[in-house]
């Protein structure tokens, strides 16, 4: 037998005998039989098991007893319905079932009811009103994550992770077309990649090892020291973030690239600008159904992005904040709150939700960041933002060993603690730069979602390491 995808069931197939494998989404009995809604990924279709023809009472009884979320195989005839079926994606047709087999029965107790989990987001007021009317509350975020394998079945979640997969594909394809080689750097390291307290340590045959906080040194070694020139990586990044925020995970997916620079680090910014515009264009063009499925549950405004990408200097960004009455420090880092405000100000002034900001103060960037030749208090570094939140950090790196040592000393980093990093620059390194993108952040912010746990399939935070 050949199964037909639920999404392909339209009036064009009316009269055909169809085999489906799908899950039982809902089940409603009436006198002459039972209405089932069958679900597969983003799609739902109504099916009926009514007494008549080859269908007798025992078969109706069997169909009624199938628990929700069970996987079933059914055979039936597709018919056009007199009026559109509300609540189903395949509105114009219905399957008259003649044969039914349970492939895998679901427990009758479902900790997450998919039909509840896919209801559109509600405001707290709407939620309260629904509760007073005795309607089921929205499924709690923690319950969803405890039973993520069920929660993932909602059309919005199906769509989010298909979009996430598309973002990775377009990242790879765009950079591959520009000559970037995909690498796989080690995640077990002898020392911290980014330093700071956000490092996980583990036992490595009796010595302490760190989980990679980024592929930083390795992508630099491959691109600038190892002769590859242009490299990219899609891989896990581990950060022992102690506090739980809406945008930090303890494990996320880094989309990194590193490239040698011919003349100027703006070459890196140009690669980023073209890369993101290409990713956004392709997702908008090829993921229309997925975007609609997300929007149905989590309404959002389309991302506005300029071509080429708007680029401000850090000074210009700070000035926008100061002019709007905020107390922003021209030589400090931006707080989360100031980032958000700046995003609003830029959107208002330039009509874009996506922009780059470069020439960050040198003191707030890692020791390996190249200072700005024309202003030593600034650096050849940048961040990229969507809707006022950081999605990328990047920079030109220092490729001269002595200068690197000097900068490490100025950051009070003991040289013996970064010996393996420094060693790589002893034998000739080309000028280079690059950046790191947080995949879950990009998808969260592109889709206007409010929490990064929605775009991490199995999120890790200080309170969650399972499932």
Shortest distance, position 304 Cβ to ligand AMO, whole Å: 20
Sign of CA dihedral 460, 464, 466, 467: negative
Which partner in ligand AMO, ligand ATP, none is near 333 (CB below 5 to 8 A by kind)? ligand ATP
Q: Which is nearer to ligand ATP, 42 or 328 (CB)?
A: 328
Question: CA 15, CA 11: separation in Å to the nearest integer?
Answer: 9
- Which lies closer to ligand AMO via its Cβ, residue 50 or residue 200? 200
Q: Which of ligand AMO, ligand ATP, none does residue 76 bind to, with CB < 5 to 8 Å depending on kind?
A: none
| Residue number, nearest CB to ligand ATP | 243
Q: Does 220 bind ligand AMO (CB under 6 A)?
A: no
Q: Which of residues 353-392 bind ligand ATP (CB under 6 A)?
A: 390
- 14 near 79, Cβ under 8 Å? yes
Nearest distance from residue 41's CB to ligand AMO, in Å? 27
CB of 237 to ligand ATP, least distance (A): 9
From the CB of 241, what's the least distance to ligand ATP, in Å?
4
Shortest reach from residue 309's CB to ligand ATP, in Å = 19
Q: Give the residue ranges of DSSP H helices in 85-179.
A: 114-117, 124-132, 141-146, 148-151, 155-177
- CB proximity list for 311: less than 8 A, separation 6 or greater: 269, 273, 355, 356, 357, 358
Any contact of residue 267 with ligand ATP (CB under 6 A)?
no
One-letter-per-residue 3-state SS of 410-455:
HCCCCHHHHHHHHHCCCCCCCCEEEEEEEHHHHHHHHCCCCCHHHH
In contact, 106 and 25? CB cutoff 8 Å: no
Q: Is 290 a catalytic residue?
A: no
Residues 184 to 203 in contact with ligand AMO, rule: CB under 6 A: 194
Chain positions 228 to 247 lying near ligand ATP, rule: CB under 6 A, are 241, 243, 245
The one catalytic residue among 230, 378, 397, 441: 441
| Burial readout 56-67 (b: 16 or more C-beta within 10 A, e: otherwise) | eeebbeebeebe
Catalytic site residue from 23, 39, 148, 248: 248
- Whether residue 247 lies in the annotated active site: yes
Which of 259-264's residues contact partners 24+ apart within 8 Å by CB, and which partners?
Answer: 259/180, 259/223, 259/229, 259/230, 259/231, 259/432, 259/433, 259/434, 260/223, 260/224, 260/229, 260/230, 260/430, 260/431, 260/432, 261/396, 261/430, 261/431, 261/432, 261/433
Q: Counting contacts by CB under 6 A, is residue 213 touching ligand ATP?
A: no
Contacts of 96 (CB under 8 A, 6+ apart): 47, 48, 50, 76, 77, 78, 79
Nearer to ligand ATP, 267 or 333 (CB): 333
Least separation, in Å, of the C-beta of 319 and ligand ATP? 19
Binding status of residue 455 toward ligand AMO by CB under 6 A: no
Is 248 an annotated catalytic residue?
yes
451 binds ligand ATP (CB under 6 A): no
> Is 441 one of the catalytic residues?
yes
* Per-residue binder mask for ligand AMO (CB under 6 A), 254-293, x = binder: x-x-------------------------------------
- 104 is a contact residue toward ligand ATP (CB under 6 A): no
Q: Does 216 bind ligand AMO (CB under 6 A)?
A: yes
Of 301, 297, 333, whose CA–CA distance to 314 is shortest?
333
Catalytic annotation, pick one of 251, 290, 339, 390: 390
Catalytically active residues are 239, 241, 247-248, 390, 393, 441
């Amino acid at each position: 037998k050949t199964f037909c995808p639920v999404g392909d069931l339209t009036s064009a197939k009316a009269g055909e005998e169809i085999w489906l494998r799908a899950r039982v989404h809902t089940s409603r009995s009436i006198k002459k039989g039972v209405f089932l809604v069958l679900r597969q990924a983003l799609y739902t279709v109504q099916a009926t098991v009514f007494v008549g023809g080859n269908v007798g009472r025992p078969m109706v009884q069997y169909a009624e007893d199938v628990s929700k979320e069970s996987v079933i195989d059914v055979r039936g005839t597709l018919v056009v319905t007199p009026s559109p079926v509300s609540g189903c994606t395949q509105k114009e047709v219905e399957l008259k079932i003649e044969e039914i087999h349970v492939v895998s029965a679901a427990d009758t107790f479902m900790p997450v009811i998919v039909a509840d989990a896919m209801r559109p987001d509600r405001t707290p007021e709407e939620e309260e009103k629904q509760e007073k009317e005795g309607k089921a509350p929205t499924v709690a975020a923690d319950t969803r994550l405890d039973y993520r394998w069920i929660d993932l079945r909602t059309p919005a979640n199906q769509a989010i992770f298909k979009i996430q997969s598309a973002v990775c594909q377009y990242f790879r394809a765009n950079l591959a077309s520009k000559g970037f080689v995909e690498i796989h750097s080690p995640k077990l390291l002898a020392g911290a990649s980014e330093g700071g307290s956000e490092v996980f340590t583990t036992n490595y045959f009796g010595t302490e090892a760190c989980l990679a906080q980024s592929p930083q040194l390795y992508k630099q070694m491959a691109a600038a020291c190892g002769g590859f020139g242009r490299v990219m990586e899609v891989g896990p990044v581990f950060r022992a973030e102690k506090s739980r925020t809406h945008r930090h995970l303890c494990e996320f997916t880094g989309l990194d690239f590193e490239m040698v620079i011919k003349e100027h680090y703006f070459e890196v910014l140009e690669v980023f600008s073209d890369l993101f515009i290409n990713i956004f264009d392709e997702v908008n063009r090829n993921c229309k159904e997925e975007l609609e499925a997300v929007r149905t549950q989590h309404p959002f405004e389309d991302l506005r992005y300029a071509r080429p990408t708007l680029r401000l200097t850090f000074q210009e960004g700070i000035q926008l904040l100061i002019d709007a009455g905020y107390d922003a420090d021209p030589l400090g880092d931006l707080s989360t709150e100031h980032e958000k405000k700046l995003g609003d100000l830029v959107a208002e002034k330039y009509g874009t939700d996506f922009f780059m900001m470069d020439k960050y103060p040198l003191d707030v960037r890692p020791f390996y960041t190249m200072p700005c030749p024309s202003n030593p208090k600034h650096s050849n570094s940048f961040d990229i933002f969507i809707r006022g939140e950081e999605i990328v950090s990047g920079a030109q790196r220092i490729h001269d060993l002595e200068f690197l040592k000097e900068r490490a000393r100025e950051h009070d980093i003991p040289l013996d603690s970064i010996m393996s990093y420094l060693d790589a620059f002893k034998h000739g390194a080309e000028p280079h730069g690059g950046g790191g993108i947080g995949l879950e952040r990009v998808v969260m912010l592109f889709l206007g979602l409010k929490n990064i746990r929605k775009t991490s399939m199995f999120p890790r935070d200080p309170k969650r390491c399972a499932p």
